[in-house]
């Protein structure tokens, strides 16, 4: 039976009948899983070999757990739910979004390989590509998100991977994923997208031809600002490689955080719907205010990628970035005058979070300018509060400065 995303958010990935008749999936708090006797060990090892062969062929087999660094039943339930939400064959959870990105890149790239990374992606991802991957002999080329011709020109015979992000932080640029897939797939190049800002509710990259999707599950997927997690989702043949690397590098997600992630995912559809609505209403309000110089929100016709966003997204998200008329000091006074949002560097939770983003990048003016983030830019990550209250708060803060 075909199910809607809200139903999958609640039920997918979890056993219908859980231990002890519990309604929620249990937290399996153990580092080690024991075996009844030697025959059980031998049977497990044979099944393990079968599973590896099945996954390499694009399938999968159920396998009991062995050791907590490799898997955990609570973690696996969250992985199955996330795979179902994205339409992937499998998912691998990590202790943070960066652990997911870095482990996937290390698993997929070898010495002599070349990767293309969009310049507009999260700055820590860019730093890893620019500063760390070359230590292991992998080269990277940076290309602007709106330069598909430049992306095509950057492809080399040894290009193994194209890494993109959409929407980007903080200007919410959108890349045409079908166009990226059309460039990569005929050449046998893997594609990977950081879809954290979009969520599986607003964007389905795998259906558009991408190979892998990564999320900082800390953000919208968990939704309550109370855990760190990351996930990579895709076909078994690639997920298996990344899962093997996770077991080797040890960046596993613990069972308590997996449980909290499962709990948060059950309300994902409700939360994202409200955040989409808040995003659109706040963006329209800000665009019409004389104290606001520019608004960045893909749901607005003024956004440079509005047409692409309308074509490939079901909603435009809960982050609105905007530049104020004035200078750095006036922008700081505006942020301090807001009464509802907290000041901080995250997004995607039920509470609204605001930041004058340049100040979180560097205190050095030259470094801030090099980042492309102006001193007057505010990134507002909207929570699930009432839109009327959020707009009233914005209005009073704008009036106050």
Catalytic position from the list 8, 55, 126, 194: 194
Q: Are the C-beta atoms of 221 and 97 separated by less than 8 Å?
A: no
Indicate which residue of 8, 55, 81, 122 is catalytic. Answer: 122
For residue 218, what are its two tokens? 């800390």
Q: Distance from first CA to last CA of the chain, Å, rounded? A: 55
Parallel/antiparallel/unpaired status of strands 139-143 and 159-165: unpaired
Which among 401, 62, 92 is positioned nearest to 241, based on CA atoms?
Answer: 92
The CA distances from residue 387 to 142, 269, 380, 394, in Å, are: 38, 18, 13, 10
Exactly one of 18, 51, 69, 237 is catalytic; which is it? Answer: 69
Q: 265: closest CA among 9, 85, 11?
A: 9
Q: List C-alpha distances in Å: 161 to 101, 157, 178.
A: 13, 11, 16
**Helical pair 328-337 and 387-400, crossing angle rounded to 10 deg:** 140
State yes or no: is 16 an active-site residue. Answer: no
Q: Judge whether 393 counts as a catalytic residue.
A: no
Helix (H, G, I), strand (E, B) or coil at 112: coil
Report d(CA 378, CA 357) in Å as an integer.
6
Query: What tokens appear for 49 in the block?
Result: 């070999």
Pick the catalytic residue from 55, 81, 173, 219.
219
122 in catalytic set:
yes
Known catalytic residue at 48: no
- Residue that the structure tokens 């990977």 belong to: 192
Burial class (CB in 10 A: 0-12, 13-18, 19+), 378: buried
Kindly list the catalytic residues.
69, 122, 194, 219
């Amino acid at each position: 039976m075909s199910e809607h995303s809200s139903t999958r958010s609640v039920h997918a990935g979890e056993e219908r009948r859980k231990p002890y008749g519990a309604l929620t999936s249990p937290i399996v708090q153990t580092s080690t899983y024991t075996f009844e006797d030697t025959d059980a060990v031998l049977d497990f090892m044979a099944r393990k070999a079968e599973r590896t062969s099945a996954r390499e062929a694009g399938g999968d087999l159920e396998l009991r757990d062995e050791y907590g660094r490799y898997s955990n039943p609570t973690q696996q339930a969250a992985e199955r739910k996330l795979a179902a939400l994205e339409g992937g064959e499998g998912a691998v959870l990590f202790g943070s979004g960066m652990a997911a990105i870095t482990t996937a890149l290390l698993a997929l790239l070898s010495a002599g390989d070349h990767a293309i990374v969009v310049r507009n992606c999260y700055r820590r991802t860019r730093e890893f590509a620019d500063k760390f991957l070359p230590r292991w002999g992998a080269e990277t080329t940076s290309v602007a998100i709106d330069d598909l011709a430049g992306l095509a020109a950057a492809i080399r015979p040894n290009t193994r991977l194209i890494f993109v992000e959409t929407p980007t932080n903080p200007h919410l640029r959108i890349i045409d994923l079908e166009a990226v897939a059309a460039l990569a797939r005929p050449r046998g190049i893997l594609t990977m997208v950081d879809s954290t800002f979009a969520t599986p509710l607003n964007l389905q990259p795998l259906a558009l031809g991408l190979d892998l999707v990564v999320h900082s599950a800390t953000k919208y997927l968990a939704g309550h600002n109370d855990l760190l997690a990351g996930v990579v989702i895709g076909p078994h043949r690639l997920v298996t490689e990344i899962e093997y690397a996770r077991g080797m590098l040890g960046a596993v997600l613990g069972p308590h955080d997996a449980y909290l992630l499962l709990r948060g995912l059950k309300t994902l559809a409700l939360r994202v719907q409200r955040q989409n609505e808040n995003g659109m209403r706040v963006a329209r309000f800000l665009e019409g205010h004389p104290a606001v110089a520019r608004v960045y929100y893909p749901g607005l016709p003024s956004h440079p990628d509005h047409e692409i966003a309308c074509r490939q997204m079901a909603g435009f998200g809960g982050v609105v970035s905007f530049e104020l008329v004035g200078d750095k000091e006036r922008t700081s006074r505006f942020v301090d005058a807001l009464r509802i949002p907290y000041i901080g560097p995250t997004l995607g939770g039920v509470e609204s979070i605001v930041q004058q983003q340049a100040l979180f990048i560097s205190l050095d003016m030259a470094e801030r300018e090099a980042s492309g983030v102006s001193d007057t830019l505010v990134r507002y990550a909207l929570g699930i509060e009432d839109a009327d209250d959020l707009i009233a708060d914005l209005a009073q803060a704008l009036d106050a400065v």
